Chains A and B, each alone.
Chain A
Amino acid sequence: MTHHFILRVITKLLIPLILLFALYVQFHGDFGPGGGFQAGVIFAAGLVLYALVFGLDTASQVIKEWVLLLLVPLGVLIYAGVGLASLYFGGNYLDYNVLAHDPVHGQHLGILLVELGVGVTVAAVLTTIFFSFAGRGQRDVNEVLKKSSGDGDAGQTS
């Protein structure tokens, strides 16, 4: 586990910043450039970086696959749920004005929730895509390693 020492240290320093930046892009999206999709991609990039450096097994301990598969539909449901809520409060579908007493607040709340849903889904989808592709690759690598039994250099994947 001592391979790529510099890479590991730098990654550990960077990942919190990346995730923080993702959250900034997510929640500052109301006032500046940003939004759920960009934030989700950045967040997923942080997780993917972690998985690349520390290996898929460690990464899937950090975030379990079933959690990801739960988050993918959850984000869509948040989005669609906001729309249904605005129907319930008497507006058109996705009409945020009716979500709060003041239309401006309603718009704020609506776009915040919708972008949250988008962010959750995008982050989960992109991480899932990476995990499933990398997972297949790892299976192959493990088979190769088993065949060539004891070549020693497993630093790439474990």
Chain B
Amino acid sequence: MSAPSTAITLANLATHYPALQIVLPLVTAPLVVLLRGTRLVWLIAFAVTLACLGIAVDLYAQVLQQGEISYAMGGWAPPVGIEYRVDRFNGLMLILICAIAAVVLPFARTSVEKEVADNRLSLFWAAWLLCFTGLLGIVITGDAFNVFVFLEVSSLSTYALIACARDRRALTSAFQYLIMGTIGATFILIGIGLLYMLTGTLNMADLAERLPAVTQARTLNAAFGFIVVGCSLKLALFPLHLWMPNAYAFAPSAVTAFIAATATKVSIYVMLRFFYTVFGAEFSFGSMPLGEVLMTLSIIAMFSGSLVAIYERNVKRMLAYSSVAQIGYITLGISLATTSGLAAGMLHLINHAMIKAGLFMAMGAVVYRLGSCRLDQLSGLGKQMPWTMAAFVAGGLSLIGVPLTTGFVSKWHLASAGFGAGLPLVPVAILASSLLAVIYVWKVIETAYLRAPLENATPVKEAPISLLIPMWIMVAANFGFGIQGTVIWQAVQQAAVQLTGGV
């Protein structure tokens, strides 16, 4: 078959990267279902994830060179058609999601074999790819309704992934998450509907142009409220976080590592996109008391999350509560409503994704050997699984924010952004909450290294190398970006300047 004259070439393939970013995993998911039951399935999924990572990196490079990329789906020019838009912020998010997926996938292959029934494996990978597609789609799209669709694609597949675990409590936590997640997504849908009523458009850039004319309308306030609450549910902001601990604790470990590092982060992205691009900072933080509300909730989240984590005996649940606290840090940075606060929030968003992916993978390796991650069963594990526990310690140091780790870099910037905004209490709160993190991380370290193994416990071996390598890649990233702290910081600063500096 001879190619037509206008045929796609390698040179113009790059112009279609925004579409391919989504389409590649989307097409692979049904293929995986068709190819069921083969080892090939995982290889294909991994190859596609790597290809997506390549595309994401290339897209970001394109953005750095020539500014924002806009891609018209179906050839319909925006604002009529659906627009895919890549800028400095979501370019970074795309890389983050793809990189986390690429590191967690090799881990998942081994870990999932133990935690998911064999006959479900090919469907598991299909759901995984759909979840990946959904997350990328939320980030890349420039259309408000499309956000809802991809949000549901990723959420529905996440519920299925969580329910894949063998523990029956996974079913109830998936159900709980489904109810809460659907309410959150429906709230976002209501908000988008109200925005559409006001303006007659769904394109984000177009919305941003038309909304300033109607800032007096009460409908706008209602739309804002619905979207904020919906996003807060999805990102597990303090009083709306109740779905998260169980979902993280009982999901297969690889799924936990993946969604803890990406799903909530993507929801934060959606919220920021609406705050800054659609509603505009002036409306969000000026007309609406968003800064005050968000800051109060963030600080409560930082302390309540850490406090509950201290008393938690299941380490995965402990880490989930610690995520509630860490999300508090991110929203605290956002609530400062300054460019440096926003950048610090984004930085912690990326860093926390790396920290939690590493920590949950370490716990996944423990579950792989022990079949559980109850704190008392970890006794003496420091000698039996030295590499795994060392990775946990390293990740824990980053979580606390010890110098030379990414956690330190982002907390440093958060604290200085707090000073910059004239709120000296913010650094104090960050420091105090970090001290609480020391306590719960220390509890795990103490149990693993200083206690003798339980008498009736059968000694276990170190985790297989296929689990250790992804884990240590994340740990290395934590220290690498901690020492070279300016690399990400500069990128997020540019992203923050772009978000706050108008369209």
Interface residues of A (CB under 8 A from B): 69-70, 72-74, 76-77, 80, 83-84, 87-98
Contacts and interface: CB of A to CB of B under 8 A. Distances in A.
Contacts of B33: 69, 72-73
Which of B4, B29, B30, B31 has the largest count of A CB atoms less than 10 A from its CB? B30
B74 A94 contact: yes
Interface in B1-21: 3-4, 6-8, 12, 16, 19-20
A66 to B, nearest CB: 10
Contacts of A95: 74-75
A121 B1 CA distance: 29
A98 B6 contact: yes
A98 B74 CA distance: 10
A22 B34 CA distance: 26
Contacts, number: 65
Contacts of B12: 90
Contacts of B29: 73, 76
B30 A77 contact: yes
B72 interface: yes
Taking residues whose C-beta sits less than 8 angstroms from the other chain, chain B's interface range is 20 to 34
B408 interface: no
Which of B4, B7, B73, B75 has the largest count of A CB atoms less than 10 A from its CB? B75
B27 A77 contact: yes
Nearest to A73: B30
Interface in B34-53: 34
B7 A84 contact: no
B31 A94 contact: no
B74 A96 contact: yes
Given A74-B34, A77-B30, 7 more contacts: A77-B27, A88-B3, A92-B16, A92-B19, A92-B74, A93-B19, A96-B75
Contacts of B31: 73, 77
B71 interface: yes
A146 to B, nearest CB: 25
Contact of A73 (B16, B34, B74): B34
Interface string B412-452: 00000000000000000000000000000000000000000
A87 B8 contact: yes
